[in-house]
């Protein structure tokens, strides 16, 4: 199996609650290598662009506002089967439906304030990584 890369965002709710280190530890304990990292505060244009597939949905404006409410930590994680393994590690979008021991089950406040974002496919991972990182920022 080939080594893959996936995008992770530690979302504003987790940043505000000082969970960055705890979440990073979970990634490393699960065998992920962090090959890119940056903290940034999303502009409206960045948040709208990143979530553009949801722009016609009722929750879009609230999602954009939430993602701009505090800094996020953007990460590129690497390992074999990274996309699938990361999705398993973070759990279902709705923390009440997430498996015990997943990041969202343990740290999310609700379905929107669910602490982390993860790419849902290898194609999405490539697109999302390129949204936040240039190749020279990855190691």
Residue 53 three-state SS: helix
Residue 1 has pLDDT above 90, yes or no: no
**For residue range 78-112, what is the model confidence (pLDDT) as tens digits?**
999 999 999 999 999 999 999 999 999 999 999 98
Q: How does 108-128 read in b/e, with b if 16+ C-beta sit within 10 Å?
A: beeeebbbbbbbeeeeebbeb
Q: State the catalytic residue, choosing from 117, 125, 132, 133.
A: 117
Tell whether the model's pLDDT for residue 17 goes beyond 80: yes
The rounded distance, in Å, linking the Cα atoms of 112 and 91 is 14
54 is catalytic: no
Q: Is the pTM of this model over 0.75?
A: yes
Q: Looking at the structure, give the CATH architecture of the domain made up of residues 3-137.
A: 2-Layer Sandwich (3.30)
| Strand bridging mode 33-40 / 3-10 | unpaired
Q: What backbone torsions phi and psi does residue 125 show, to the nearest 5 degrees?
A: -60, -45
pLDDT by residue (tens digit) across 42-60?
999 999 999 999 999 999 9
- Each residue's pLDDT tens digit, 64-78: 999 999 999 999 999
Domain boundary assignment for the chain = 3-137
DSSP 8-state secondary structure symbol assigned to residue 135: G
Mean pLDDT of the chain: 97
Phi, psi of 123 (to 5 degrees): -65, -45
The confidence score (pLDDT) of residue 19 equals 98
Strand partners, 1: none
Question: What's the rounded Cα separation, in Å, for the pair 114 and 94?
Answer: 7
């Amino acid at each position: 199996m080939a080594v893959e890369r996936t995008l992770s965002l530690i979302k504003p709710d987790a940043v505000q609650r000082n969970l960055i280190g705890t979440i990073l530890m979970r990634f490393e304990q699960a065998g992920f290598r962090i090959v890119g990292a940056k903290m940034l505060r999303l502009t409206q244009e960045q948040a709208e662009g990143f979530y553009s597939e949801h722009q016609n949905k009722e929750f879009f404006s609230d999602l954009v506002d939430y993602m701009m409410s505090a800094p996020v930590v953007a990460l590129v994680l690497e390992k074999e089967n990274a996309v699938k393994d990361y999705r398993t590690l973070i759990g279902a979008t709705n923390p009440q439906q997430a498996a015990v021991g997943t990041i969202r089950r343990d740290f999310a406040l609700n379905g929107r304030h669910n602490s982390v974002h993860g790419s849902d496919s290898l194609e999405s991972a490539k697109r999302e990584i390129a949204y936040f990182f240039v190749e020279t920022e990855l190691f």
